């Protein structure tokens, strides 16, 4: 993993988040070519490695514009196991949405809790946000339970929010505020940080404070 302008890695005892690299395309293709993994996605499953490569090619521009910050989730023995990221930033309001997916090999091993702990630390401690939100399809019980288990509060339903194939589906909205994080289970997980948040995000936050 090369140091550079976008060098950022967050470490928990059993999971690391880092900036994705072009060489991760094959691993991401293997994970996201599974129809069960992408069942509730607006995309996928991947049919070829080129789709994963195209996704990775878009990330530097998104980071440069401060619109999305996706990170690769890496298990110490299994290697890459999924993606998590921040999007839908409102810099003025100090909030963003978090989205996460894991390959099936990482289901049920506690990776989601550590991944959310790292993302909450990134959002609240490194970026200084006050709110972290998440969506879950109302039919996706696994996703809803996973959010509630780590301290997100269900806040309501957005009807017809998500286009999935030929269906228009509802999503549940979840939220976590900084005080929720501070007194919840995620704050107890130790976090170690290497590198820095890409400068575009901190610049936009500073500009919104003026």
What value does the mean pLDDT take over residues 173-187? 98
- The whole-model pTM stands at 0.94
Spell out where 14-166 has E strands: 15-18, 69-75, 79-90, 95-102, 131-137, 153-164
pLDDT tens sequence across 95-139? 999 999 999 999 999 999 999 999 999 999 999 999 999 999 999
pLDDT tens sequence across 23-68? 999 999 999 999 999 998 888 799 999 999 999 999 999 999 999 9
What value does the mean pLDDT take over residues 160-176? 92
User: Rounded CA gap, 186 and 128, in Å?
Assistant: 16
Exposed/middle/buried for residue 53 (C-beta within 10 Å: 0-12, 13-18, 19+)? middle
Residue whose C-alpha is closest to residue 144's, from 181, 172, 167, 177: 172
Residue boundaries of the structural domains of the chain: 8-133+186-203
83 within 8 A of 74, measured Cβ to Cβ: no
Question: In CATH terms, is domain 8-133+186-203 a member of 3.40.630.30?
Answer: yes
Q: 166 or 79: whose pLDDT is higher?
A: 79
pLDDT at 3 exceeding the cut of 50: no
Q: What is the DSSP letter of 23?
A: G
pLDDT, position 80: 98
pLDDT at 194 exceeding the cut of 70: yes
């Amino acid at each position: 993993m090369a140091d550079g302008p976008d060098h950022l890695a967050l470490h928990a005892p059993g999971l690391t988040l880092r900036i994705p690299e072009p060489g991760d395309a094959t691993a991401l293709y293997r994970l996201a070519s599974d129809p069960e993994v992408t069942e509730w996605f607006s995309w996928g499953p991947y049919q070829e490695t080129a789709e994963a490569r195209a996704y990775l090619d878009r990330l530097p521009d998104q980071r440069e514009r401060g619109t999305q910050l996706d990170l690769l989730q890496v298990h110490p023995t299994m290697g890459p196991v999924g993606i998590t990221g921040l999007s839908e930033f409102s810099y003025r309001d100090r909030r963003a949405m978090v989205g996460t997916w894991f390959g099936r090999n990482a289901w049920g091993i506690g990776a989601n809790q550590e991944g959310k702990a790292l993302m909450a630390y990134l959002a609240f401690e490194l970026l200084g946000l006050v709110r972290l939100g998440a969506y879950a399809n109302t039919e996706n019980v696994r996703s809803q339970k996973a959010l509630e288990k780590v301290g997100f509060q269900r806040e309501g339903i957005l009807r017809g929010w998500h286009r999935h194939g030929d269906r228009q589906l509802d999503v549940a909205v979840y939220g976590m505020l900084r005080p929720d994080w501070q007194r919840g289970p995620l704050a107890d997980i130790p976090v170690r940080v290497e590198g820095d948040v890409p400068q575009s995000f901190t610049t936009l936050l500073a500009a919104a404070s003026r």
